[in-house]
Structure 1
Amino acid sequence: MKVLFIGGTGLISEAVSKLTVEKGHELYLLNRGNRESFVPEGTKVITGDIRDPRSASAALEGRQFDVVVDWIAFTQEHVRADIELFRGRTKQYVFISSASAYQKPPEHYIITEDSTPLENRYWQYSRDKIACERLLMEERERSGFPVTIVRPSFTYGDTMIPAALNSWLHPWSIVARMRKGRPVIVHGDGSSLWTMTHNTDFAKGFVGLLGREEAIGEAYHITSDEVLTWNQIYEAIGEAAGAKPKLVHISSAFLISHDPDLEGGLLGDKAVTSVFDNRKIKGLVPEFEATVPFREGIKRTVAWFEAHPECCTEDEEWNNRMDAIIAAHAAGFKN
Structure 2
Amino acid sequence: MEKAREVLVIGGNRYFGKRLIARLLAAGDRVTVLNRGSSPPPPGTVHLVADRDDEKSLTDALGSRVFDVVVDQVCYTPRQADVARRIFTGRTRRYVMTSTVEVYEYEDAPALVREGAVDARTVHVDLDLPWTEPEFLTAHYGEGKRQAEAVLAADPAFPYTAVRVAHVLGGDDDFTGRLDHYAERIRGGTPISVPTDNRPATYIHVEEIADFLFWAAGEDFTGPVNAASHGLLTTQELCDAVAAHVPDGKAVFQAVEVGEVSPFSFRRSYGMDNSRAARLGFPFGRTRQWLPRAVAETLGKGD
Q: Is the 8 A contact 2:109 2:269 kept in 1?
A: no
Deviations 1:192-244 (A, max 9, x none): 3222211111122221111322x13x210111113221111122122234451
1:271 and 2:284 are equivalent in the alignment = no
Q: Residues 241 and 104 from structure 1, CA distance in 2 versus in 1: closer, same or farther, beyond 3 angstroms?
A: farther
Shift of 1:91: 0.6
Q: TM-score, normalised by structure 2?
A: 0.80
RMSD: 2.9
Whole-Å separation in 2 of the counterparts to 1:277 and 1:132:
21
Residue in structure 2 matched with residue 2 of structure 1 by the alignment: 6
Q: Is the 8 A contact 1:70 1:95 kept in 2?
A: yes
Residue in structure 2 matched with residue 226 of structure 1 by the alignment: 231
Q: Is the 8 A contact 1:109 1:274 kept in 2?
A: no
Shift of 1:103: 5.4
Q: Which amino acid aligns with 2:151?
A: L
Residue in structure 2 matched with residue 150 of structure 1 by the alignment: 163
Q: Residues 55 and 242 from structure 1, CA distance in 2 versus in 1: closer, same or farther, beyond 3 angstroms?
A: farther
1:127 and 2:135 are equivalent in the alignment = no
Whole-Å separation in 2 of the counterparts to 1:31 and 1:304:
34
Question: What SS does structure 1 have at the residue aligned with 2:300?
Answer: helix
Shift of 1:18: 2.1
Deviations 1:119-138 (A, max 9, x none): 8xxx6221222122122111
Whole-Å separation in 2 of the counterparts to 1:150 and 1:305:
35
The structure 1 residue matched to 2:298, chosen from 297, 301, 304, is 301
Question: Aligned pairs, how many?
Answer: 280
Q: Is the 8 A contact 1:194 1:228 kept in 2?
A: yes
Residue in structure 2 matched with residue 208 of structure 1 by the alignment: 215
Residue in structure 2 matched with residue 316 of structure 1 by the alignment: none
Whole-Å separation in 2 of the counterparts to 1:56 and 1:13:
20
Percent of counterpart pairs with the same letter?
Answer: 23
Q: Residues 304 and 150 from structure 1, CA distance in 2 versus in 1: closer, same or farther, beyond 3 angstroms?
A: farther
Q: Is the 8 A contact 1:48 1:56 kept in 2?
A: yes
Deviations 1:234-264 (A, max 9, x none): 221222344513422223x3225xxxxx79x
Question: What SS does structure 2 have at the residue aligned with 1:205?
Answer: helix
Residue in structure 2 matched with residue 50 of structure 1 by the alignment: 52
Residue in structure 1 matched with residue 92 of structure 2 by the alignment: 90
Residue in structure 1 matched with residue 73 of structure 2 by the alignment: 71
1:21 and 2:25 are equivalent in the alignment = yes
Moved over 3 A (4+): 115-119, 171-174, 286-292
Q: Residues 229 and 289 from structure 1, CA distance in 2 versus in 1: closer, same or farther, beyond 3 angstroms?
A: closer
Q: Residues 50 and 105 from structure 1, CA distance in 2 versus in 1: closer, same or farther, beyond 3 angstroms?
A: closer
Q: Is the 8 A contact 1:69 1:95 kept in 2?
A: yes
Q: Residues 271 and 18 from structure 1, CA distance in 2 versus in 1: closer, same or farther, beyond 3 angstroms?
A: farther
Residue in structure 2 matched with residue 114 of structure 1 by the alignment: 116
Q: Is the 8 A contact 1:240 1:295 kept in 2?
A: no
Question: What SS does structure 2 have at the residue aligned with 1:14?
Answer: helix
Q: Residues 189 and 134 from structure 1, CA distance in 2 versus in 1: closer, same or farther, beyond 3 angstroms?
A: closer
Residue in structure 2 matched with residue 309 of structure 1 by the alignment: none
Q: Which amino acid aligns with 2:273?
A: D
Whole-Å separation in 1 of the counterparts to 2:206 and 2:160:
22
1:193 and 2:205 are equivalent in the alignment = no
Q: Which amino acid aligns with 1:6?
A: I
The structure where helix makes up a greater share of residues is 1
Q: Which amino acid aligns with 1:181?
A: G
Shift of 1:35: 3.1
Gaps of 5+ in 2: 124-138
Q: Is the 8 A contact 2:193 2:254 kept in 1?
A: yes
Q: Is the 8 A contact 1:189 1:249 kept in 2?
A: no
Gaps of 5+ in 1: 257-261, 307-335
Whole-Å separation in 1 of the counterparts to 2:53 and 2:118:
32
Moved more, 74-83 or 98-107: 98-107
Residue in structure 2 matched with residue 322 of structure 1 by the alignment: none
Whole-Å separation in 2 of the counterparts to 1:229 and 1:302:
19
Whole-Å separation in 2 of the counterparts to 1:52 and 1:304:
44
Q: TM-score, normalised by structure 1?
A: 0.73
Q: Residues 273 and 107 from structure 1, CA distance in 2 versus in 1: closer, same or farther, beyond 3 angstroms?
A: closer
Whole-Å separation in 2 of the counterparts to 1:196 and 1:47:
32
The structure 2 residue matched to 1:244, chosen from 244, 249, 253, is 249
Whole-Å separation in 2 of the counterparts to 1:245 and 1:80:
48
Moved more, 154-163 or 273-282: 154-163
Whole-Å separation in 1 of the counterparts to 2:233 and 2:241:
10
Deviations 1:260-317 (A, max 9, x none): xx79x88xx93323332222112223445457621211111112998xxxxxxxxxxx
Question: What SS does structure 1 have at the residue aligned with 2:9?
Answer: strand
